[in-house]
Amino acid sequence: MNSSKQGGIIIENNSSTTVEKIVSLAKRRGFVFQSSEIYGGLNGCWDYGPLGVELLKNIKEEWWKAMTYRDDVEGLDASILMHPRVWEASGHVENFSDPMIDCKKCKSRYRLDVLGDSFSEKKQIKAIESLKNKLNDKEDLHKKIDDIYANPGDENPFNLVLENDQLGVLLLEELNCPQCGNKNTFTEARKFNLMFKTFIGPVEDSGAVVYLRPETAQGIFVNFLNVQSASRLKLPFGIAQVGKAFRNEINTKNFLFRTREFEQMEMQYFVNPKEDTKWYNYWKEMRLEWFKSLGMTPSKLRYHDHPVDKLAHYAKDATDIEYEFPFGWGEIEGIHNRTDFDLGRHEEYSGKSLKYYDETVKEKYIPYIIETSAGASRSFMAFLIDAYYEEEVKGESRVVLKFNPRLAPIKAAIFPLVNKDGLPEIARKIEADLRKSLKVFYDDKGAVGRRYRRQDEAGTPYCITVDNQTLEDQTVTVRERDTMEQERVGIDQLAGNLLGKLHY
């Protein structure tokens, strides 16, 4: 637990237990609910409540402004269902799969490539030792294990052994199912395609199969020339899209981190192949800055550059922007140099030219693509966790969400100090006035201190209180969420004052 003191406030940003606290706060305050909760819930799916939908909308809006309010990026909203050939061309039908195993006893299902993470380090070492004993004189296999452990890159070497064709099956025999505890009960690994299948039209046969898109990017690739010619764009230019994506993940976990339905914010930037590195570096920097500009703690953000031998076959460069979640570092956005792979494949599969005519060099070529691919829902979780603070103020504790005001679901709350003497009428008038431009909240229930605490938990940056002095001089108090400092502002100045502070 990290504690610090600022102006008499003891601040504790508790990074060891916040996921549980966040899930409970999210439900209590209406950020996120379990999907279909009254039926026992649907795994890997979540519903965004009144505060959550505002926060998510604000994140997407900030992204949209940052990415498309510029002269070289246009927006798109492609449909979720696409021609099935799209997913053949993209490689998803063939390759978008995870290796899956089942426990024959309790039927629990696991992803083989991350199974090791369910065991303590001690258990992993013990299992590797048993495996080596079992292999006794097979020196080549001993060497293989040693080589993997000597050079695991940034993977867990235990998982790499599990994924190895020769060693994986033998290591599985040494393991107990993390759920029921039985030993040697795993099936062989098989490929599990993560795309959700459905049927278009009334006949459910193989000719009618379509997929729920597992990423928004393909909608951009296939519309590349449509957008380019409609908007008369010249390279380099980008196409941005925000939308739902679906992946039938084998194991969902960590709240919104890995879900089966989620939202992505993707931008594909089309460049002359000779300029790919320049633009890759440019977007890499821009995207990290975006998270910082919205108040995410810089020390909890980092790049994870993919080593060359771990790159996808089509990628020339790739990095993840990672956030330090309470359960460890996790990707929130990927930046990739996808070369000419995607447009080349769509050209091949559709038979339509997707080449760009470059007037400057009088040449036709397939542009390279620099992709920035962020999860809106994963970013939502990172912003929520990053904003969460527990503080002790004059012996009392408060939970406060220190959102950047641009992301805060409610921008200001208005309270009449008491429900008499004409104060509610003035407060209602202020509310109606501010509501024209801001999401505001009116609260007249309970002691004013409790009303402040409720807004702290919702992350509301400003609370406005109408009191007896208002009757005399037409001023109200404006209390700032983080410092809890109060200033008096004239009612006629209020809207301008708040809009200025919120940077609108």
Q: Which residues would be at the binding site for ligand ATP (CB under 6 A)?
A: 215, 247, 249, 258-259, 262, 264, 331-334, 373-375, 377-378
Q: Which residues touch 169 (CB under 8 Å, ≥6 apart)?
A: 188
* Pick from 478, 448, 232, 460: nearest CA to 357: 232
378 vs 402 by CB, closer to ligand ATP: 378
* Pick from 12, 14, 8: nearest CA to 393: 8
Q: Which residues touch 200 (CB under 8 Å, ≥6 apart)?
A: 81, 208, 209, 210
321 vs 458 by CB, closer to ligand ATP: 321
Task: State in angstroms the smallest separation of the CB of 288 from ligand ATP.
Answer: 13
291 vs 452 by CB, closer to ligand ATP: 291
Q: Are 112 and 265 in contact (CB under 8 A)?
A: no
215 vs 443 by CB, closer to ligand ATP: 215
Task: State in angstroms the smallest separation of the CB of 250 from ligand ATP.
Answer: 10
Task: State in angstroms the smallest separation of the CB of 380 from ligand ATP.
Answer: 10
Burial class from Cβ neighbours inside 10 Å (0-12, 13-18, 19+) for residue 349 reads: middle
Region at 216 (left for phi over 0; alpha for psi -120 to 50; beta for the rest) = alpha
Task: State in angstroms the smallest separation of the CB of 377 from ligand ATP.
Answer: 5
3-state SS, residue 419: coil
Question: What is the identity of the amino acid at 504?
Answer: Y
Q: Are 249 and 260 in contact (CB under 8 A)?
A: yes
The Cβ of residue 472 has, within 10 Å, a number of other Cβ atoms equal to 8
Q: Are 269 and 263 in contact (CB under 8 A)?
A: no
Task: State in angstroms the smallest separation of the CB of 336 from ligand ATP.
Answer: 8
3-state SS, residue 127: helix
159 vs 377 by CB, closer to ligand ATP: 377
337 vs 470 by CB, closer to ligand ATP: 337
Q: Round to whole Å and give the CA distance between 452 and 188.
A: 57
Q: Are 193 and 94 in contact (CB under 8 A)?
A: no
- The b-or-e profile of 260-271 (16+ CB within 10 A means b, else e) is bbbbbbbbbbbb
Task: State in angstroms the smallest separation of the CB of 378 from ligand ATP.
Answer: 4
| Residue with smallest beta-carbon separation from ligand ATP | 375
Axis-axis angle for helices 139-150, 121-135 (nearest 10): 160
210 vs 332 by CB, closer to ligand ATP: 332
Task: State in angstroms the smallest separation of the CB of 417 from ligand ATP.
Answer: 44
339 vs 460 by CB, closer to ligand ATP: 339
60 vs 258 by CB, closer to ligand ATP: 258
Q: Round to whole Å and give the CA distance between 174 and 129.
A: 10
Return the HEC string of 353-389: CCCEEECCCCEEECCEEEEEEEEHHHHHHHHHHHHEE
Task: State in angstroms the smallest separation of the CB of 369 from ligand ATP.
Answer: 14
Task: State in angstroms the smallest separation of the CB of 485 from ligand ATP.
Answer: 36
* Pick from 86, 251, 231: nearest CA to 179: 251
Pairing of strands 190-193, 97-102: antiparallel
Task: State in angstroms the smallest separation of the CB of 153 from ligand ATP.
Answer: 15
Task: State in angstroms the smallest separation of the CB of 16 from ligand ATP.
Answer: 22
215 vs 431 by CB, closer to ligand ATP: 215
322 vs 467 by CB, closer to ligand ATP: 322
